[in-house]
């Protein structure tokens, strides 16, 4: 099978010739730049700076030579701008606090204070207040909360929380078309991450791409609002999806059914031990908008739909399926109630699992290579039965993960597939 056929067969809940693999197709299935560099060194690939294509989490672009060794079956089609609102173009070198030289986009502009903390700016504008902070000795950028004093509830404006959700321009669509043409020239499956449909995604709430954000931008205040201002939040979601559906029509007019999957929403509903909200609130506040989006996609396209949610979400899995999601990621098996055998038995016929391959909280960063191997082989055995599974770690591979453990993970998947 080609990679595309392999992934599509698994989507049909049939077993392909071998287990499909993904690393790097989305901002939730990638690797930190430091890990990408270590892998390139291990495999004696061309020594060149890694592109930090997603500066928020400092994710590294996995070039074709490394992707071929890993055996990746999926390529990603990203939106035209980064989390901080500048385009990935005109690359330049930047030396990280941990000593690695990487390539960053022209709009990646930073300052450093006397303590060594690094600040990054929305749209690369050094005259605007910074929207991200990498603490000294850190490996990621944390978003900076820039919350103006909120007016009385009667004066809150829906439009203020919609600044970052705008209609795609012809230039945006042309960018997607050129990127998609490059991705689709190969034989891999493809996933589009276009933004605009992630209602309540807490990474979006502080608006790191907006220079002077208005509205409810404090994370704590936002979560409070999902309880105390439900009608207001519901109205924001509705207007956001109004815009998103128009954009999805434009994207489909531009790309057609050339992509296989669309990643629509990264809103996390799980903590380590429970959910952020009850099934009843999920059904009332979030689900109508998910159904509306997913029904449009299923009616007008052939795209499969991915929903991302970290944490303990077994109680919400039936509602995700009812909402029309085809795929769930990252399958955090380390959270309460997320036992792989239970998930596969209860939900495996109705939804595709993308991730869950190894525990990135404990086993991958702190275990031995043999412990990594055993866990990966066990997860592959459970999740691959009757298809419906794409292998990936649980979320991104973190910095300071021993390279021998990453190698053990990759080798174990190939051992399971009989390709090594």
Domain chopping of the chain, boundaries: 3-31+69-84+149-417
The pLDDT of residue 18: 98
Query: What are the tokens at 85?
Result: 């609102």
Query: What are the tokens at 380?
Result: 């592959």
CA angle (286, 291, 292) in 5-degree steps:
100
Compute the CA torsion angle 240, 241, 245, 246 (nearest 10 deg): -30
The pLDDT of residue 139: 98
The pLDDT of residue 93: 98
- Do the bridges between strand 142-143 and strand 189-193 make them parallel or antiparallel, or are there none, so unpaired? unpaired
Q: Is 307 helix (H, G, I), strand (E, B) or coil?
A: strand
The pLDDT of residue 146: 96
- Do the bridges between strand 50-54 and strand 101-104 make them parallel or antiparallel, or are there none, so unpaired? parallel
Q: Which of 294, 417, 420 is nearest to 18 (CA)?
A: 417
The pLDDT of residue 184: 76
Residues of the chain with pLDDT under 70: none
**Would you call 1 exposed, middle or buried from its count of C-beta atoms within 10 A (0-12, 13-18, 19+)?**
middle
Residues 188-222: pLDDT tens digits?
A: 999 999 999 999 999 999 999 999 999 999 999 99
Crossing angle between the packed helical segments 340-347 and 369-383, to the nearest 10 degrees = 10
- Do the bridges between strand 189-193 and strand 261-265 make them parallel or antiparallel, or are there none, so unpaired? parallel
The pLDDT of residue 385: 97
Residues 2-28: pLDDT tens digits?
A: 999 999 999 999 999 999 999 999 999
The pLDDT of residue 63: 96
- Looking at CATH, the fold of the domain delimited by 3-31+69-84+149-417 is given as TIM Barrel (3.20.20)
């Amino acid at each position: 099978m080609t990679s595309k056929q392999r992934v599509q067969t698994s989507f049909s809940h049939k077993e392909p010739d071998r287990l499909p693999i993904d690393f790097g197709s989305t901002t939730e299935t990638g690797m930190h730049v430091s890990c990408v560099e270590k892998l390139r060194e291990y495999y004696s690939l061309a020594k060149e700076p890694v592109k930090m294509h997603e500066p928020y989490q400092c994710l590294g672009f996995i070039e074709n030579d490394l992707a071929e060794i890993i055996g990746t079956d999926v390529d990603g089609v990203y939106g035209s701008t980064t989390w901080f609102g500048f385009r990935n173009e005109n690359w330049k070198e930047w030396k990280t606090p941990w000593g690695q030289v990487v390539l960053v986009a022209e709009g990646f502009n930073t300052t450093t204070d006397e303590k060594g903390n690094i600040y990054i700016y929305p749209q690369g504008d050094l005259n605007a207040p910074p929207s991200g902070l990498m603490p000294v000795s850190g490996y990621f950028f944390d978003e900076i909360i820039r919350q103006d004093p909120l007016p009385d509830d009667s004066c809150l404006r829906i439009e203020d929380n919609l600044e970052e959700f705008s209609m795609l321009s012809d230039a945006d669509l042309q960018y997607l078309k050129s990127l998609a043409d490059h991705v689709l020239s190969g034989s891999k499956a493809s996933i589009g991450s276009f933004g605009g449909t992630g209602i309540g995604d807490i990474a979006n709430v502080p608006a790191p791409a907006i220079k002077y954000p208005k509205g409810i931008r404090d994370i704590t205040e936002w979560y409070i609002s999902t309880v105390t201002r439900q009608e207001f939040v519901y109205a924001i979601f509705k207007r956001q999806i109004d815009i998103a559906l128009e954009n999805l029509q434009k994207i489909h007019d531009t790309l057609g059914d050339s992509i296989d999957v669309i990643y629509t929403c990264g809103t996390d509903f799980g903590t380590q031990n429970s959910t952020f909200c009850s099934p009843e609130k999920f059904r009332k506040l979030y689900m109508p908008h998910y159904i509306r989006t997913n029904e449009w996609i299923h009616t007008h396209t052939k795209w499969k739909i991915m929903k991302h949610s970290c944490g303990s979400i077994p109680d919400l899995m039936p509602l995700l399926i009812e909402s029309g999601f085809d795929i769930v990621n990252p399958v955090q098996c380390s959270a309460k109630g997320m036992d792989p055998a239970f998930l596969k038995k209860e939900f495996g016929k109705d939804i595709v699992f993308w991730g869950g391959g190894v525990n990135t909280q404990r086993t991958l960063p702190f275990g031995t290579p043999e412990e990594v191997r055993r866990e990966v082989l066990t997860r592959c055995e459970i999740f691959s039965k009757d298809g419906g599974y794409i292998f990936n770690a649980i979320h991104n591979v973190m910095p300071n993960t021993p390279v021998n453990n990453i190698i053990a993970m990759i080798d174990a998947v190939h051992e399971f597939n009989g390709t090594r």
